[in-house]
A and B are shown apart, each in its own frame.
Chain A
Amino acid sequence: MIAMIGRRVMSTLMVLFGVSLVIFLLLQLVPGDPARTILGAGATEDAVAAVRAELGLDQPLPVQFLGYLQGLITGDLGRSLTINQPVTEIIIPRFQNTMVLSAAALVICVVVGIPLGILAARRQYGIFDRIAMFTSLAGASVPVYWLGLMLIGVFALNLGWFPTSGMSNPRNPEGGFGDLLSHLVLPAFAAALVPLAVIARMTRSVMVDTMEQDYIRTLRAAGVPERSIIWKHCLRNAMPPIVTVVGLQIGYLLGGVIFVEVVFSWPGLGYQLYTAITQNDMPLVQAGVLFIALVFVLVNLLADTTVGLLDPRTRRKVTA
């Protein structure tokens, strides 16, 4: 087990190195000179050259990359071009807001998605199974940005049950937990729908496979109650692949949440990234993308380790 975790941590470090290289190279593709962006159009050649030297842009690319890596390790990702602050100071509070939204969405996904899949698997091709699977396929096809707009139209504008946007009431910023919750309901549901549908479908297919195993037939023959067979024996054996899918769906959430945050003006990392893109603030874009990739990689490492704990058979397998 420890050897497996060690191997995974090593390959994760390699991946993170690759990720920083990709992001570094990606930014070389951006047209325009950052020094000119900072100084504006009317700057003299000398001033531009001075800023380029200050930013280290006159150095050869490999040297620039080393400096960039050094900054990464010490947590210095540069300054934003539009907000006069180090990017890490901008990103971390925004990321906390994103975590609030993603965590709420994830809870909805797991609490609704897994039982839905189990109930559908209980009677394969039954009427509940057919309806649940068609609905979840439709759910997986929904454009999140559109769903967000529809939710705002119905539940915020027409019915007035929830606020249309933001994370707190601007007239009463200290609204407390109830206020946060009422702002959270619509975006959390919008962010949850697609991963929920995918988790439900995956849970169903894994459960169906497990229920066809010989030991389940033996349990039935031995007279073990159906409820205990499904919720105890089957679920325990179906858990590892379900955990893997949930881990992957967290990655989807971290990407899809950008749309939700933009539609609901949720002050998270995705919304910040969107503003940075529209304002061409590349240091901020770079740090935001890097940060999300880092979280995604760590979540996958965690999911793999959990699978290893749940299923002893996977521990010796070499990861492909």
Chain B
Amino acid sequence: MNTVVEVSSTPGQVSVDPRFGASSRKAKAGRRPSRLILGLRAFGRDKMAVAAAAVLIIVVAAAALAPVLSPYDPVVGDSARRLEGIGSEGHPLGLDGQGRDILSRLIWGARYSLTVAIVPVLAVLPIALLIGLFAGYVQGRVGGVLMRVLDVLFAFPLVLLAIALAAVLGAGLGNVMLAIGISLVPYMARVAYTSTVQESSREYVEAARAGGARTGEILLKELLPNVVSPLLVYATTLCGLMVVLAAGLSFLGVGIVPPTPDWGIMTADGSSVLLEGRAHVATIPGLAILVVALAFNLLGDGLRDALDPRKQTT
């Protein structure tokens, strides 16, 4: 499950990589291109991952440029033309149940749907790293207690924990991000913990310890660079899952509050007019969620392969 990967270390740092039998400083001296370049080349060969990255860049750009790009106001509608379908005049993606332009809502919705999913993942990343490194290497009583607490949080399915927290905290952008962030801690910390434990038993850590390095030095200089990359791969995949989950919370009414144009709210709006035989209102935002989630998953797969030295060739 957890691919063990090596990352490009900061210049001037000596870490012995048992797989190559040479220090990475030597490798940087010219025998082999740097790991970063190798990684980028490997990533470039993965056409699916490159396409996924392109899709995500376009969506992020659209979200950033929403005020310029969106042809209409996302909240104000023209009720006389409500539920007009795809390709109607002036509205390429049609209008929703309140006569609002679906394309404009989709573009504005990207802002909310991406923010609410990605910010918690990024915020939890350093916390998970700290917990994982500490519990995995230092261990001791505090580490043990930390892992038991995480075990308890693991007893709740992720979706259920997020829904329960969002319900208790109340709807709203900040609270949803908090609910998702708390639900993510056990999962991300577990990945950091597992790879810390794996890496701790390898020769380069032992060598550093034999050389008299202090615990803090081993944690930051030796373990951190090697633990962070599997966590980054996992975080990329999680971003996709969280786009689906965050929109789901809004769909249930415990997330972002209407009339904010969020993809989950748009899907919920569509469900109420589905019985009127108007499927496009629900179909379009759901497809947007699916495409973005799939792109994050493909990007995560591509990153994992690109960071795997066994798949990097010169």
What residues of chain A have their CB less than 8 Å away from a CB belonging to chain B? 11, 14-16, 18-19, 21-22, 26-27, 29-31, 134, 137-138, 140-147, 149-150, 152-153, 157, 164, 251-252, 254-256, 258-259, 262-263, 273-274, 277-278, 285, 289, 292-293, 296-297, 320
Q: Which residue on B lies nearest to A273, using beta carbons? A: B163
Report A122 CB to chain B, min CB distance, Å.
21
* In the assembled complex, B157 has its CB within 8 A of some CB on chain A: yes
Whether B148 and A18, one on each chain, are in contact in the complex, defined by CB atoms closer than 8 angstroms, is: yes
The CA of A141 and the CA of B284, in the complex, are separated in Å by 15
Q: Which 9 A-B pairs have the closest CB atoms?
A: A146-B286, A255-B159, A18-B152, A255-B157, A141-B293, A141-B294, A277-B167, A255-B160, A251-B157
Q: Mark B20-52, 1 if CB is under 8 A from A, else 0.
A: 000000000000000000000000000010000
The CA of A55 and the CA of B160, in the complex, are separated in Å by 27
* In the assembled complex, B248 has its CB within 8 A of some CB on chain A: yes
Whether B149 and A18, one on each chain, are in contact in the complex, defined by CB atoms closer than 8 angstroms, is: yes
The number of residues on chain B lying at the interface, defined by a beta carbon within 8 Å of a beta carbon of chain A, is 51
Known: A149-B267, A149-B274, A157-B277. A18 touches B155 (CB 8 A): yes
The CA of A258 and the CA of B279, in the complex, are separated in Å by 22
Known: A252-B159, A285-B164, A293-B156. A15 touches B151 (CB 8 A): yes
The CA of A21 and the CA of B169, in the complex, are separated in Å by 18
Whether A293 and B155, one on each chain, are in contact in the complex, defined by CB atoms closer than 8 angstroms, is: yes
By a CB distance below 8 angstroms, the chain A residues around B240 are 141
Whether B152 and A19, one on each chain, are in contact in the complex, defined by CB atoms closer than 8 angstroms, is: yes
By a CB distance below 8 angstroms, the chain B residues around A256 are 159
Given contacts A277-B254, A292-B160, 7 further A-B contacts (CB under 8 A): A140-B297, A145-B251, A252-B158, A258-B160, A259-B159, A293-B156, A296-B156
What residues of chain B have their CB less than 8 Å away from a CB belonging to chain A? 48, 147-149, 151-160, 163-165, 167-170, 193-194, 197, 240, 244, 247-248, 251-254, 267, 270-271, 274-275, 277, 279, 282-283, 285-286, 289-290, 293-294, 296-298, 301
Known: A18-B152, A157-B275, A262-B252. A150 touches B283 (CB 8 A): yes
The CA of A19 and the CA of B169, in the complex, are separated in Å by 18
Can you name 22 A-B residue pairings with CB atoms under 8 Å? Answer: A11-B151, A19-B156, A29-B168, A30-B168, A137-B297, A140-B297, A141-B240, A141-B294, A143-B244, A143-B290, A144-B248, A146-B289, A164-B275, A252-B158, A252-B159, A258-B159, A259-B248, A262-B252, A285-B167, A289-B160, A289-B164, A320-B197
The CA of A194 and the CA of B168, in the complex, are separated in Å by 27
Known: A140-B297, A296-B156. A145 touches B164 (CB 8 A): no
A interface, over-half SS: helix
The CA of A259 and the CA of B193, in the complex, are separated in Å by 31
The CA of A18 and the CA of B146, in the complex, are separated in Å by 12
The CA of A255 and the CA of B245, in the complex, are separated in Å by 11
Whether A15 and B152, one on each chain, are in contact in the complex, defined by CB atoms closer than 8 angstroms, is: yes
Q: Give how many A-B residue pairs fall within 8 Å (CB-CB).
A: 133
Report A249 CB to chain B, min CB distance, Å.
10
Report B262 CB to chain A, min CB distance, Å.
13
The CA of A168 and the CA of B305, in the complex, are separated in Å by 49
By a CB distance below 8 angstroms, the chain A residues around B155 are 15-16, 18-19, 293, 296-297
The CA of A277 and the CA of B169, in the complex, are separated in Å by 11
Whether A146 and B157, one on each chain, are in contact in the complex, defined by CB atoms closer than 8 angstroms, is: no
Q: Which residue on B lies nearest to A30, using beta carbons? A: B168
Report A254 CB to chain B, min CB distance, Å.
5
Whether A258 and B293, one on each chain, are in contact in the complex, defined by CB atoms closer than 8 angstroms, is: no
Whether A296 and B157, one on each chain, are in contact in the complex, defined by CB atoms closer than 8 angstroms, is: yes
Whether A277 and B163, one on each chain, are in contact in the complex, defined by CB atoms closer than 8 angstroms, is: yes
The CA of A296 and the CA of B169, in the complex, are separated in Å by 24
Q: Which residue on A lies nearest to B164, using beta carbons? A: A289
Report A286 CB to chain B, min CB distance, Å.
9
By a CB distance below 8 angstroms, the chain A residues around B286 are 143, 146-147, 149-150
Q: Which residue on A lies nearest to B149, using beta carbons? A: A18
Known: A255-B159, A289-B164, A320-B197. A145 touches B267 (CB 8 A): yes
Contact among B194, B275, B290 with A138 in the assembled complex (CB-CB below 8 Å): B290
Report A163 CB to chain B, min CB distance, Å.
13
Whether A146 and B290, one on each chain, are in contact in the complex, defined by CB atoms closer than 8 angstroms, is: yes
Contact among A144, A152, A292 with B274 in the assembled complex (CB-CB below 8 Å): A152
The CA of A202 and the CA of B270, in the complex, are separated in Å by 34
Most buried by A among B159, B193, B248: B159
Q: Which residue on B lies nearest to A164, using beta carbons? A: B275
By a CB distance below 8 angstroms, the chain A residues around B151 are 11, 14-15, 18
The CA of A187 and the CA of B163, in the complex, are separated in Å by 20
The CA of A296 and the CA of B274, in the complex, are separated in Å by 34
Q: Which residue on A lies nearest to B293, using beta carbons? A: A141
Report A125 CB to chain B, min CB distance, Å.
13
By a CB distance below 8 angstroms, the chain A residues around B248 are 143-145, 259
By a CB distance below 8 angstroms, the chain B residues around A15 are 151-152, 154-155
Q: Which residue on A lies nearest to B263, using beta carbons? A: A143
By a CB distance below 8 angstroms, the chain A residues around B147 are 320
By a CB distance below 8 angstroms, the chain A residues around B159 are 252, 255-256, 258-259
The CA of A141 and the CA of B248, in the complex, are separated in Å by 13
Whether B251 and A259, one on each chain, are in contact in the complex, defined by CB atoms closer than 8 angstroms, is: yes
The CA of A289 and the CA of B158, in the complex, are separated in Å by 12
